[in-house]
Structure 1
């Protein structure tokens, strides 16, 4: 005889199975909507409305609202997917990088490629919208940047540990990863906004240039600057002397 008392309020295994299948279906449907929305924004532009996105995706606006709440929720979901893909590339590059410099270059390249692949999608998820709407990728980017900053911080410290650098450079090295990421994002956004032409660098050229600016600056110290020459007195100062 089974002496184990069963809780009558507990869901049955069949109910649990149905709930799991429903959650899996809902998650898959959500991923599909994000992908179709990305294609729609890529074609329509970063200022596309929810109605336009839904129509291009072959569904209704109410479906998108059901899964994402509003346009800001869709921006955030698309941003999280973009960030996840970029992080995968960088983590994989970090595993195979033969040097700190090659690892940094892989990070710069992944960011620029994400932006260049579809500027409309990039501008949509970062909130650089034609209607001035606020960006919703910040939370996802913040988490992503925290992860990458930690990776970069470790690499920078390992790099500096094998070199003679001024004490001031070692003390301020903790700020370098944050400054580097800010520079990559700012330069990248200006780069994708630039009109195509012979004067616009390729993704590879931009990656190499940013890597050089960032990496070759590690260990830099103001003490290496030549002394500031004395100021030349102005005519007024000469007259009053």
Structure 2
């Protein structure tokens, strides 16, 4: 079938409008799902998420494939917001230690603001383990990478190769300690968010400083 030159712009326009509509609808579904998970918990079934969104499971499956796809899509949104907060923390810091502590606090704060959503986007469901594991790993790889750049300023040039391993180790510590902190009931001995961020930053900073050729005499070094 042949099309005249005047047909193409109309077709392209309809395709663009449909793509925009689909993307907007996808964002609406992710937003509704986040609210549902925040309110109902990380174990909430897809049927309840769809009901809370005022639609059906088939609509969610059409846009996201399965629950693992929805988790990955929500994870991208959470990660984007976390990137903004961590980047802002790094920009306003006056020293490497202060930057590290602020970035850890931003991570913990995002997780603490909605533990159900955090658990939902970081867990690996057994039903679709392979696909979800990839999204799960990518989430923490990305958070680890956010912590990397400020630490490059601390290491001497001859030790730059070390930084290739640091984000993985750092994120493992941040995640393990942070999730244990999140799960700990509120009591008089549980550290505040700021205190926990300080503890984790101390552990991480001591480790990275040990690999540097400079002597750390103060956490507030320029």
Give the TM-score range, shorter chain. Answer: 0.7 to 0.9
In the alignment, which residue of structure 2 is the partner of 1:234? none
Deviation at 1:190, TM superposition (A): 1.0
TM-score by length of 2: 0.81
Distance 1:13-1:96 versus aligned 2 partners, 3 A rule: same
Out of 9, 31, 49, the position equivalent to 1:13 is 9
Number of residues paired by the alignment? 206
Deviation at 1:71, TM superposition (A): 0.6
Deviations 1:154-181 (A, max 9, x none): x33422339xxxx8x8774543332111
Deviation at 1:147, TM superposition (A): 3.3
TM-score by length of 1: 0.75
In the alignment, which residue of structure 1 is the partner of 2:26? 30
Work out whether 1:161 is the aligned partner of 2:156: yes
Structure label with greater radius of gyration: 1
In the alignment, which residue of structure 2 is the partner of 1:229? none
Alignment of 1:95-114 (within 5 A): 95-114=91-110
Out of 134, 139, 142, the position equivalent to 1:141 is 139
Whichever structure has more helix as a proportion of its residues is 2
In the alignment, which residue of structure 2 is the partner of 1:4? none
Check the 8 A contact 2:123/2:136 in 1, yes or no.
no
CA RMSD of aligned residues (A): 2.6
Out of 74, 89, 99, the position equivalent to 2:85 is 89
Alignment of 1:68-79 (within 5 A): 68-79=64-75
Work out whether 1:55 is the aligned partner of 2:51: yes
Distance 1:149-1:200 versus aligned 2 partners, 3 A rule: closer
In the alignment, which residue of structure 1 is the partner of 2:199? 209
Work out whether 1:180 is the aligned partner of 2:175: no
Distance 1:69-1:115 versus aligned 2 partners, 3 A rule: same
Distance 1:171-1:139 versus aligned 2 partners, 3 A rule: closer
Work out whether 1:192 is the aligned partner of 2:185: no
Deviations 1:98-146 (A, max 9, x none): 22112212220121112101111111111166x8874453254155146
Moved more, 112-121 or 131-140: 131-140
Check the 8 A contact 1:105/1:207 in 2, yes or no.
yes
